[in-house]
Amino acid sequence: MDQLPVLDKASPEGRELLAPGSKRLSLAQMCKFSPLRLEPQSLAVTDTALFTDHLFLKIPCDYQCDFARRRRRVQGMADCLHVFHVQRELAEHLNVRLAELALQKERWARARLQGEEAEANVSKSNWGGFQSHDDCFVDRTDDPEAYCRMACLRELHRLCSAAMDELCVDVDPESRPQRVGELCGGVAWINVNRPEDLNFLHVHEEGKYSGVYFVQPGEIPPSDPKHRIAGGLNGHLVFRGGMQRDGVDGETHSYLAVPPEAGALWIFPGTMPHCVFPRRRQAPSGSHHEELSAAAARISVAINFDESAPPSVML
């Protein structure tokens, strides 16, 4: 694995973390970002039929952008990220069906661009790629065809609900939006990123949990003989954090690079700034057909939960 670099405005990745075009998230041009090397802590898993493990990590809070002014500026405060790994056989079976649905929606969106009636492509934080409407957890019992087609999304909804039950096991049941065993409230949407597609630095709902489930990581087209994950950041979900206690060489902030590992469900506070870096080519691009192949698609499902995220904690 490549050594994760210190990022600054001299690199495309550093400029993205500076978020110069954002009124809420932009930082001074002199900021530098050092990679977080954290040892995740393990929590007990109740439903071992669904998950192999439940890990969590603490990331120093970023309090230096305008968006964070309402949050407590206390050095040593951290936000918690959680990751659940779905049992391998279950994840493999689910991901095949999710990928088929995602690629079908992407094809429909491309057809609409050519004047046919099809799926709309939503544009929010994404530059390129396909993003569906946030209706993936909507009950479609009134439409038998859609209900059958979206069975894999109902299964994912159940997985997400079980993860939220694990996450909130110590939360007062009276303060939760739903009871243990019920489907969690929230909205979800599908993302399909091709090589060079990205998602700009952004945040989700304040005070709520957000999440992402990785369906498949995607590949650089195989005709590129020099394809590799440059700097360990291509196609990664990257969280921007605050200054580390042991920051050196002028580093003012930190980042955590999360690989798009199929079958991993990440849950995090909606106020945590994050982005998706593109998969950069190291040589001339492959053919248009190769880039639109199923293997070249980085597919994920993003979620905004109704569940409230707890306040920041001490590191």
Please give the chain's pLDDT, 315 residues, in tens.
Answer: 457 899 999 999 999 999 998 989 999 999 999 999 889 999 999 999 999 999 999 999 988 888 877 666 677 889 999 999 999 999 999 999 999 999 999 998 888 766 555 577 888 889 999 999 999 999 888 888 888 989 999 999 999 999 999 999 888 887 888 888 899 999 999 999 998 899 999 999 989 999 999 999 998 655 444 443 344 688 999 999 998 765 556 678 999 999 999 999 999 999 999 999 998 765 555 555 567 789 999 999 999 999 999 888 888
pLDDT of amino acid 230: 43
Q: What is the DSSP letter of 95?
A: H
* In the block, residue with structure tokens 């999440």: 211
Do you know the residue count of the chain? 315
pTM of the model: 0.92
Do 266 and 257 contact (CB within 8 A), yes or no?
no
Residue 234 pLDDT: 86
Q: Can you give the residue ranges of every domain in the chain?
A: 34-314
pLDDT score, position 25: 95
Dihedral, CA atoms, 193, 275, 134, 60, nearest 10 degrees? 150
The domain made up of 34-314 has a fold known as Jelly Rolls (2.60.120)
Which conformational region is residue 137 in: left (phi greater than 0), alpha (psi within -120 to 50 degrees), or beta? alpha
Q: Can you give the pLDDT at residue 35?
A: 93
Q: Please state at what angle helix 88-113 crosses helix 151-167, rounded to 10 degrees.
A: 130
CA distances from residue 85 to 15, 52, 160 in whole angstroms, order as listed:
31, 6, 11
Token digits for 51?
């998950």
Supply the pLDDT for residue 150. 92
Please check whether residue 38 is in contact with residue 275, taking contact to mean a CB–CB distance below 8 angstroms.
Answer: no
Where in the chain does DSSP place strands (E)? 33-35, 41-43, 51-60, 77-86, 126-127, 130-131, 186-193, 198-202, 208-216, 237-241, 253-258, 264-269, 274-276, 298-308, 313-314
> What's the pLDDT at 72?
64
